[in-house]
C-alpha cells in the first residue's frame, strides 16, 4: 500500500476542550457550518466551453506516490510499459470517459499520451499484469476515449482513475479523475474538485467527460486571411501538398500554403494555429 492509499478517516485530532475527536467529525462539523452554496457539488466547467481567448488554468497535478523513476514492482502503483489500448476489458459497471487535451490557449494537443490505470470492480489493482492499465494517444483533434468500468473502492480513498498525460516531448502531468457525488470525496485528502468528471448515464452505461489542460503555452492563432483555401492534395510520396492541421509532417517535407511553398524544419503534427507563416521554428520558405 503506497502513501496515497493510506489516508485514514480515523486520524485523531485534539479539540479545544482537550477531547480527542476524529478527522471525520471535524469534517462533518465543517460541512454543517458551510453555506449551502458550498455544499453543492462543484463540477468544473469543461475547458472546451471556456470563453475564447481566455487563458486556461492547467489541470492540477495530483501525487500518486510514484517515485520519479516510475520503477515499481509491487503495491498499487503505476506500472510502466502498459499496453497501447483504449479499451480496458473486465467485469463491472461499464464506463466510457471522453474528452480533449488542450494547451493553455485551448488549442487541442494531438498525439498526447494518456496512460490510464485504475482498480478493478473490487477495488484491487493488478500489480502483476496489466488489467485495467493502458495507454493511448489523442487524435488529430486532441480527443481521447477510454472504455473501462467504474473502479471499485478500497480503504482510505474515494473512487478515482489515475492518469498520466504528456504532450510530445513535454513534461508528464500525473493526476487523477474523480466522480461527483461520492460520499468519500469529502474525506479523501488527495481529492480535488477540479478533477471531477462530468457524469451522465445512457443505456446503463456511465459516461464521464473531462478535458485536460496541459501547462504549455499556445501557438499564435492565424488570422482569417491565412485560412487554407484548398483541400489537402497528393499523397505521402507525391509532391508538395497543401498544409493541413492534423497532418504529421517529417523534417524536409514540403507543403504549399496560400500559394507559397514551405519546407518542414522539425517533425511534428500540425495543429490549428501552426500554419507555416506563423511558426518559423517549424517551417521555412522553400
Ligand atoms: Fe489509486
pLDDT averaged over 10-residue windows placed end to end, the chain, 286 residues: 37 36 40 42 78 86 57 60 97 97 95 96 93 97 98 94 94 94 95 95 92 88 40 45 82 88 76 70 78
List phi, psi (to 5°) of 26: -60, -45
Q: How far is the CA of 120 from the centre of ligand 1 (A)?
A: 11
Q: According to the model, what pLDDT value does residue 251 have?
A: 76
Query: CATH fold of 224-285, please?
Result: Seminal Fluid Protein  PDC-109 (Domain B) (2.10.10)
What are the domain boundaries of the chain? 42-213, 224-285
Instruction: For residue 283, give the nearest of 224, 137, 168, 258 by alpha carbon.
Output: 258
Q: How far is the CA of 56 from the centre of ligand 1 (A)?
A: 27
Q: What pTM did the predictor assign?
A: 0.63
Q: How far is the CA of 243 from the centre of ligand 1 (A)?
A: 43
The CATH label, of 2.60.130.10, 2.40.50.140, 1.10.10.10, 3.40.50.1820, for the domain at 42-213 is 2.60.130.10
Q: Taking a C-beta distance cutoff of 8 angstroms, is the pair 71, 62 a contact?
A: no
CA–CA separation, 284 and 265 (whole Å): 7
Q: How far is the CA of 74 from the centre of ligand 1 (A)?
A: 13
CB proximity list for 45: less than 8 A, separation 6 or greater: none
Length of the chain: 286
Q: How far is the CA of 159 from the centre of ligand 1 (A)?
A: 8
CA–CA separation, 69 and 76 (whole Å): 16
Q: Taking a C-beta distance cutoff of 8 angstroms, is the pair 116, 94 a contact?
A: no
Extract long-range pairs of 227-233: CB within 8 Å, 24+ residues apart: 228/257, 228/258, 228/275, 229/258, 230/256
| CB neighbours of residue 250 within 10 Å | 10
Q: How far is the CA of 103 from the centre of ligand 1 (A)?
A: 26
List phi, psi (to 5°) of 147: -110, 115
Q: Taking a C-beta distance cutoff of 8 angstroms, is the pair 243, 259 a contact?
A: no
Q: How far is the CA of 123 from the centre of ligand 1 (A)?
A: 9
Q: According to the model, what pLDDT value does residue 53 have?
A: 79
Cell of 72: 515499481
Q: According to the model, what pLDDT value does residue 272 have?
A: 61
Q: How far is the CA of 114 from the centre of ligand 1 (A)?
A: 16
Q: How far is the CA of 125 from the centre of ligand 1 (A)?
A: 8
**Burial zone of 243 (CB within 10 Å; 0-12 exposed, 13-18 middle, 19+ buried):** buried
Q: Taking a C-beta distance cutoff of 8 angstroms, is the pair 119, 76 a contact?
A: yes
Cell of 51: 470563453
Q: How far is the CA of 275 from the centre of ligand 1 (A)?
A: 41
Q: How far is the CA of 161 from the centre of ligand 1 (A)?
A: 7
Q: How far is the CA of 150 from the centre of ligand 1 (A)?
A: 13
Q: How far is the CA of 102 from the centre of ligand 1 (A)?
A: 25
Q: Taking a C-beta distance cutoff of 8 angstroms, is the pair 178, 65 a contact?
A: no
Number of continuous H segments (helices) and E segments (strands) in the chain: 2, 17
Amino acid at each position: 500500500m503506497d502513501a496515497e492509499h493510506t489516508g485514514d478517516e480515523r486520524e485523531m485530532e485534539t479539540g479545544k476542550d482537550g477531547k480527542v475527536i476524529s478527522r471525520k467529525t471535524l469534517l462533518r462539523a465543517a460541512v454543517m457550518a458551510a453555506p449551502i452554496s458550498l455544499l453543492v457539488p462543484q463540477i468544473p466547467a469543461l475547458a472546451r466551453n471556456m470563453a475564447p481567448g481566455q487563458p486556461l488554468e492547467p489541470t492540477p497535478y495530483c501525487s500518486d506516490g510514484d517515485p520519479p523513476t516510475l520503477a515499481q514492482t509491487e503495491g498499487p502503483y503505476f506500472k510502466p510499459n502498459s499496453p497501447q489500448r483504449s479499451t480496458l476489458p473486465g467485469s463491472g459497471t461499464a464506463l466510457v470517459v471522453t474528452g480533449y487535451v488542450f494547451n493553455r490557449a485551448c488549442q487541442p494537443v494531438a498525439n498526447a499520451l494518456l496512460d490510464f490505470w485504475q482498480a478493478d470492480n473490487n477495488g484491487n489493482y493488478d500489480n502483476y499484469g496489466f488489467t485495467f492499465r493502458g495507454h493511448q494517444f489523442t487524435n488529430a483533434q486532441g480527443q481521447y476515449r477510454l472504455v473501462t468500468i467504474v473502479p471499485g473502492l478500497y480503504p482510505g480513498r474515494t473512487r478515482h482513475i489515475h492518469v498520466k498525460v504528456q504532450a510530445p516531448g513535454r513534461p508528464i502531468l500525473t493526476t487523477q479523475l474523480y466522480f461527483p457525488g461520492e460520499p468519500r470525496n469529502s474525506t479523501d485528502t488527495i481529492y480535488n474538485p477540479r478533477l471531477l468528471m462530468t457524469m451522465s448515464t445512457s443505456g446503463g452505461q456511465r459516461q464521464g467527460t473531462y478535458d485536460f489542460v496541459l501547462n504549455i503555452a499556445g501557438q499564435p492563432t492565424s488570422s482569417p486571411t491565412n485560412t487554407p483555401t484548398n483541400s489537402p492534395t497528393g499523397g505521402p510520396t507525391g509532391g508538395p501538398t497543401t498544409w493541413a492541421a492534423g497532418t504529421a509532417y517529417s523534417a524536409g517535407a514540403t507543403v504549399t500554403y496560400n500559394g507559397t511553398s514551405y519546407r518542414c524544419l522539425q517533425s511534428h503534427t500540425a495543429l490549428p494555429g501552426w500554419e507555416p507563416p506563423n511558426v518559423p521554428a517549424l517551417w521555412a520558405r522553400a
